[in-house]
Structure 1
């Protein structure tokens, strides 16, 4: 889930430079065409979070055809396939997310989505505007290749097809957190887990990696500032929640600028909603504030929660008002295991090409892959999908109705999944 619009994060890559995977496990041209066909089919039939019924059925049928142990209906529509290799070794998990977004597609590709769905009680277009269709297709391709070569596979591979990465509908639960709570790793706990996310504003085939924190936590806060209504001509007769809210907004900005040690990790606290009042000459009873918190350190995250609550309550108290603060915790920080990244970097460069693998800056978008990476060592990378004849920075970002992916990236991502399995320590 890319919760904010971001500019290109990878620069200075030679246009059109794609690696040759000589002498390495790699999908055939025939399998590549299958991956492309799966991607187009899924793209044309997108499904919203916790509603991925067709996609899940397609995936489950594919995994069963490959002879895998298959479990379905985990966290509503999640599917997990288990491949037992021909040799002893580690347990490796590979993950793809399946859900689409409430976005009306505006591209002109022949397989564009015309699907209409329901979101928050409204009729909406549905589109794979974040590239999850590519993720599913790549993992289906990796599953087929590894199943065909299972005698050379050391250990066990878990193929995790996850619903609701974009967030469960209101009143529901879903995604990685629910899969784990329902026992995803209870009987078979991976030694490592890998994930790939396509990136619309990075050049074709470029891999962005980072050791340690990669993507921010994403949390929401609500503040109800309660005063006492009175006529605007006599503010002393009531308690003004608008003035109190203004003080809260100003004072909360000092949390990051003055109270957080930003040499450890960046953080953002932003207000997005300010609502209160119905008439120019009536001081209302209440003002509602809502905003987002992003940061890259789990301890700092808790510090911000505490200081936000204290700042709101104290600021309101000074004016005679009262502030009720609610923190709605979202996705944790996505943390790549440094040792795992270091081990697999050689493989990543061998598959994608030395010049195509670059260290990513911190990304303030959020991803629920973070839950898996808190349970077992994880490695999550970005895969560029901007066509080589286009300026990546000018390409539509993920979540745009014009989001476009060059399908040549599918081969790179599929081969990454395959080679990570073969090259993981203990798998050789």
Structure 2
């Protein structure tokens, strides 16, 4: 164990360099062409069996995929920014996930998930923003790694290097899968990978998040505060008319949308737990004297349980339908993201707490937290493994950089203490080895 810890400590600069490279070239969900191709190349060089592109996705279950034009423009941008060409063809169409498999003999199958997508945020250019001052800030306008997924991808490669380096020593331990997932933002990517079957043979699945708003040195071993969620894109279609000369001849799509918004926020809350609904965008109209022909809005529902979220979603669908009918408009609903509730397995929580305590890297160790942290589509992976009789865990590492700065996630000045990357790589590697070792015994 000590030798493994020393090895990970010694590759810290390599892990940080991966993080900074990914940070400089951020890519939104389903457009992570450069990121995925670099990961695939590195895993292949390290001796992993590598699968990527369509073979690890269920096409019918991909959600919120950009238009063909957006996918193409990002594809060619990735090539210009150094994406390895030999891997790019299979990623076309936005199939930007990678699976690395290391077969070490008979034993359980352990999967680790690392999300890799960025956010639609313009990065700070202030001198006190470390990525800018050290010249690894975003090169892609309006896109930024402002949630830490650049760090997650780097952690995954750090784990890959470690496993490859000690491969001969670990023979007979079982099978290890490293899942590099696209489109976590908007909870769009995990479901299609699960439906493709890549977790059907997995006995243990591990996931984590580094958090800039948690104090550095904090380890939360098991997180249970996920809310089930659904992301809805709604379009209303009416009939335009002159607002002064013939308003009665129009069918006002904006009125239908506004009626829906007001009533969506009036959905009764559920007796069995917390629920949420939010209309985040509403767009309509072409001029002050034209009856609006079209309107579109993006909204989300959340629930403390899957059943509560389903209640809110069904109620919302009914409101949208009747709002359209009231103003003689038509409507359509598409789903651009979904996630489930999830609870970490107690046995894995205990194991991780013991490992975390032994490392001496953490001054605040919390075994379990039920605090609400929004939604996370890793829950699809955890749900599949647990329903098949396995175990899953999602742990959090504090990565605050400077208490004097507001480094909230999804903000322009988001940043992390890069020391957390090595800590996370140690936890993934040592927990995996602990699982394999105990299963042999």
Which interval holds the TM-score relative to the shorter structure?
A: 0.7 to 0.9
Residue 143 (str. 1) matches residue 160 (str. 2): yes
Deviation of residue 26 (structure 1)?
1.9
SS of the aligned residue for 1:70 comes to strand
Q: 1:363 aligned to 2:377?
A: no
User: Corresponding residue for 2:134?
Assistant: 110
Note closer, same or farther for the CA distance 1:316–1:50 as it changes in structure 2 (3 Å cut).
closer
Determine the structure 2 residue equivalent to 1:273: 281
Identify which of 171, 179, 192 aligns with 2:193. 179
**Residue of structure 1 equivalent to 2:38:** 58
Contact residue 41 and residue 111 of structure 1 kept, 8 A: no
Counterpart of 2:337 in structure 1 is: 330
Q: Give the deviation of 1:299 after TM superposition.
A: 1.9
Instruction: Check the 8 A contact 2:225/2:370 in 1, yes or no.
Output: no
Instruction: Tell me what 2:12 maps to.
Output: 32
| 2:406 matches 1:395 | yes
Asked whether the equivalents of residues 70 and 82 of structure 1 are also in contact (C-alpha less than 8 Å), the reply is yes
Deviation at 1:306, TM superposition (A): 1.8
Q: 1:305 to 1:217 in 2, by over 3 A?
A: closer
CA contact (8 A) 2:233 2:335 kept: yes
**Native 8 Å contact 2:407 2:415 kept in 1:** yes
Higher fraction of strand: 1
In terms of mean alpha carbon deviation, does 150-159 or 319-328 score higher?
A: 319-328
- Relative to structure 1, is the Cα distance of residues 102 and 238 closer, same or farther in structure 2, using a 3 angstrom cutoff? closer
Give 3-state SS (helix, strand or coil) of 1:376's partner. Answer: helix
Q: Secondary structure at the match of 1:165?
A: coil
Aligned equivalent of 2:270:
260
Q: Decide whether aligned partners of structure 1 residues 50 and 344 sit closer, same or farther in structure 2, where only a CA change above 3 A counts.
A: same
Structure 2 counterpart SS, 1:271: strand
Q: Deviations over 1:298-327 (max 9, x none)?
A: 22222222211223334565x564563515
Residues 208-236 of structure 1: CA distance to partner in whole angstroms, max 9, x if unpaired? 35454525424124152758857569977
TM-aligned CA distance change 1:85 to 1:354, over 3 Å: farther
Give 1:248's aligned residue. Answer: 260
Shift, 1:91, TM fit? 0.6
**What are the equivalent positions in structure 2 for 1:29-428 lying under 5 Å apart?**
29-73=9-53, 74-75=56-57, 76=91, 77-85=96-104, 88-106=106-124, 107=129, 108-116=132-140, 124-150=141-167, 151-152=169-170, 154-166=173-185, 175-185=189-199, 189-222=201-234, 224=236, 226=238, 231=243, 245-255=257-267, 258-261=268-271, 263-264=272-273, 266-278=274-286, 284=292, 287-314=295-322, 317=325, 319=326, 321-322=328-329, 324=331, 326-347=333-354, 349-350=356-357, 351=359, 352-353=361-362, 355-357=364-366, 359=369, 361-364=371-374, 366-377=375-386, 378-387=392-401, 389-391=402-404, 394-424=405-435, 426=439
How far did 1:406 drift? 0.8
5+ residue gaps, structure 2: 58-90, 387-391
Q: 3-state DSSP class of the match of 2:137?
A: coil
- The alignment partner of 1:177 has SS state of helix
Q: How many residues align?
A: 383
For residue 245 of structure 1, report the CA deviation from its aligned partner. Answer: 4.6
Find the counterpart in structure 1 of residue 72 from structure 2.
Answer: none
Relative to structure 1, is the Cα distance of residues 62 and 325 closer, same or farther in structure 2, using a 3 angstrom cutoff? Answer: closer
Q: TM-score, normalised by structure 1?
A: 0.76
1:94 shift after superposition: 0.9
Contact 2:224 2:370 in 1 (8 A): no
Aligned partners of 1:334 and 1:369 also within 8 Å? no
Q: Which runs of 5+ in 1 are unaligned?
A: 1-21, 117-123, 169-173
Root-mean-square deviation (CA, aligned residues, Å) is: 3.5
